[in-house]
Structure 1
């Protein structure tokens, strides 16, 4: 497949579907637990993850991602799935126009065509879904095809030998030989699996 004709929107929606199913299982007593992202409690990680959907929606609307905080603000304990649903609607509307896939889009890693900006947010959504599942529903089965695509993106844009204090991911960690694609993605992005 030609990377310049790839449409990431269906896969982004699949990533959000997977995330939404998990958010429907969040309970209030889980919200202050630690996550694989050591700087975040589950509540913080949910805010960051749903905020990321708003951030890529803002980029699709023509904004610069650095102008938006990737956090949602106050969300009621049982409101995470509906909050994600509203963010998703915004993202769908923001990226509905096909011409936006080739428009220069400003994201944290640079100015890239919209299709590559959205591709990076697939990687983020899939990875944070794994992080959230470790607290909410360990053993969750993930979409392997989606994870393989996200892993390919991660390996291309975040090579193992280019991790330093300017990269918000730890060093690549080992993954078991029989690890799922989502677990391999988590390990590539520095999670202890």
Structure 2
């Protein structure tokens, strides 16, 4: 009989994290789409494109396909269609990762070949971080779930080195120091190299 090391099933956290992202995306107003985000190269529209396209990539990985062949940005989505586009791909990705065998099977992701549970934990980290990015860009219209940030921060500390270059394998900037008394989202943002937006 083959046994596998114990791991925390990331599927409940991923389901909650995508639900949180979906709720936030539904608040986006047309005049906000050109606004900045903590991802210096992305405005709000670009970030939405990456969230939708990246989630499509994760869905294909969960379905057993070559997710790396999927462009991590969505094309052809109209400005009024971001919420429906994300809801569609969110439904697909959750279905793709439902089977228990996906947790132990090996999958190929941008940072290497890893067990499914490790891959999906990494994608919890990604969607929670990008949800914070989007929330910053939108002026924090909704409260964010601190438990999700805690899961993402634990994953980030396990998967991302304390000091790392920004490259294809680790597409996040070098870790920053979180300010004293920072909340869990601020700690996550700092670990991922984010700087909160400065507002007038």
1:154 aligns with 2:156: yes
Q: Which residue of 2 aligns with 1:187?
A: 190
Number of aligned residue pairs: give it: 192
2-structure distance, mates of 1:33, 1:146: 25
Q: 1:3 to 1:186 in 2, by over 3 A?
A: farther
Among candidates 129, 132, 139, match of residue 130 of structure 1: 132
Q: Which runs of 4+ in 1 moved over 2 A?
A: 2-6, 137-141, 161-167
The answer as to whether partners of 2:24 and 2:141 remain within 8 angstroms in 1 is: no
**Displacement, 1:178?**
2.1
The answer as to whether partners of 1:26 and 1:78 remain within 8 angstroms in 2 is: no
TM alignment of 1:27-176, pairs within 5 A: 27-138=29-140, 140-165=142-167, 167-176=170-179
**Displacement, 1:3?**
6.4
Q: What's the RMSD between the two structures over aligned residues?
A: 1.7
2-structure distance, mates of 1:148, 1:7: 15
Q: Secondary structure at the match of 1:184?
A: helix
The range that moved more, 14-23 or 155-164, is 155-164
**Displacement, 1:100?**
1.0
1-structure distance, mates of 2:23, 2:5: 29
Question: TM-score when scaled to structure 1?
Answer: 0.93
